Structures are given as structure tokens and as C-alpha cells.
Structure 1
């Protein structure tokens, strides 16, 4: 029986259902029924525009983003699907701050819902640095289906480990 490393912490009822889908070789089919198409946001420029549009619609009074890119270096998907960095420097007596978001390149070819969940997660870090109650409340404010998309994205990562790409 495969280890469900992306589903650690989920209730046994959920992991039992996932194991059943895996045993019947139906996990990929189930995901494709729910999310038949991958998004078309393939370039860093398109990802930046998508992220800024979401930020401007959902977090109007947050700091600007200096960079949003797909990052080939994010490999350990068990620990990070995307990264946010806040860089603060003092140059010539002026304080400069930069916010950057990096999304694992794997997410160039997934359903839009998965990309949106990751972008919303990273945008929430503009206001809440820690994964606390306020952080997840903000995620839900920006994307009401946040938790469902996160679970489904974790199912996709499980399928990817076991059987390869769907999209």
C-alpha cells in the first residue's frame, strides 16, 4: 500500500477513500471528471498578470508584488508548492521592500483551481506570515472552496507520484 505523504493529517475516512480509488485505479479518472482541463497560464508574465489581478480584486490594500514566477527549483512538493519572500533593504537612507511569489513549475499544467489555490495561499502571506487561524480565514475569504481545492490538489500530487501526469 503506497504512503499517502500529501494526505498526512487528513482523517482516516478520507485516506481510506483515496486508497480505495488507488486500488481500483480510479484516482486519475476521478480527478479528470472533476477537473477536465489544465489552465493556459504558462509564462511568468501571464502568471504575474493573473496574480496581480487576483491581488487587486481580493487584497486591495496590500503591498505591491515585485515578482511572480514559476520556479523550477521548488522540488520538494511535500513541504512547499509555492514560496513567498519579503526582502527589506536600506539603500542610501531609503527603505525598500520587495514581495516575491514563486510557484513550483509543476503547476504550469494543472487545473486553474489548483493554481488559484496556490496563488491565494501565497497572497495570504502578504498579510499573515504564519499558517494560523487568521491566515486560513483570509484564504477562505479569497477562495471559498480553498480547502476542497487543496485536498484535490493533494490527490493530484498523489496520482502524479503513483502514475504520472494527467494534463
Structure 2
């Protein structure tokens, strides 16, 4: 069973923990989100989304597979980056709410039987538009979007 256990030993849905997302505390405000993401990918595998809150010095990191998140949970705790020692724990529904993420896991603590059951496109709804925006493509050279001006007769008086 997933989730933190309440006083009676049963998981509480308000304290349910994610199987795919980690909460990283004590992240330096000088650590870019890009470096945090790269470090997590180096440790464990594909990161689907990451959000950093410099005010709280914390971050949420979502992995593609539960096994990658579990491995990162065990290996990333205590990593030092930019003068700070990370504290890693499983993200809860409350963490999702504080970061403005939508809770995408069913039930009280991750309702997926396997990674294949999980719809990995759901995370797109939780990332800011800025994070998903791509550069616009330049037009292909040699193609014009307008017609050429007709040839002018006479010499140019320049």
C-alpha cells in the first residue's frame, strides 16, 4: 500500500504519495531547474517534468517510470549541489497542490498496476506553457510567401 500511514495504520488519501514524483527539499536558489533535471536523469532515468520553487527552496520531479522514481528516491537523498544537501521524499497530494500541479494518480496512492497503465501525457496539463513552448520554425530558404514585384523599366536614379 502506498501513502503515509495515519494513526490507525491506514493510508490517508490527503497524504497519499505519488509513485512517480519526488519532492526535493533544500535546493539552492542558484541551482537552475535544468541542472536539477539533468542530475535526476543521470541518477535514474527519464524525467517527464520538473518544477522548482526558489522561495521555498524545493522542487517536484516527475519520472516516466515508477522504478526510476524509486531508484532516484534511494540515490538522490543527500546529494550536494551548489552548497546545499538535498532532502528527497515522495511527493504528496499536498505538494502537488502547492506547486499548482494536477494530481494524476488514481485513488489514495497511485492507482496504476504498471507503468504501461499510466497515461504519461497527463503531465502535459501540469507544466507551464512556457516550459512546453518551442521556437517558431523559420521559413524554408528560397521559398517566398509573397509575389515578386514586377520589373521596373528605366534606370534607377540612385
Higher helix proportion:
1
Same fold, TM exceeding 0.5?
no
Structure label with greater radius of gyration:
2
TM-score of the aligned structures, taking structure 1 as reference length: 0.27
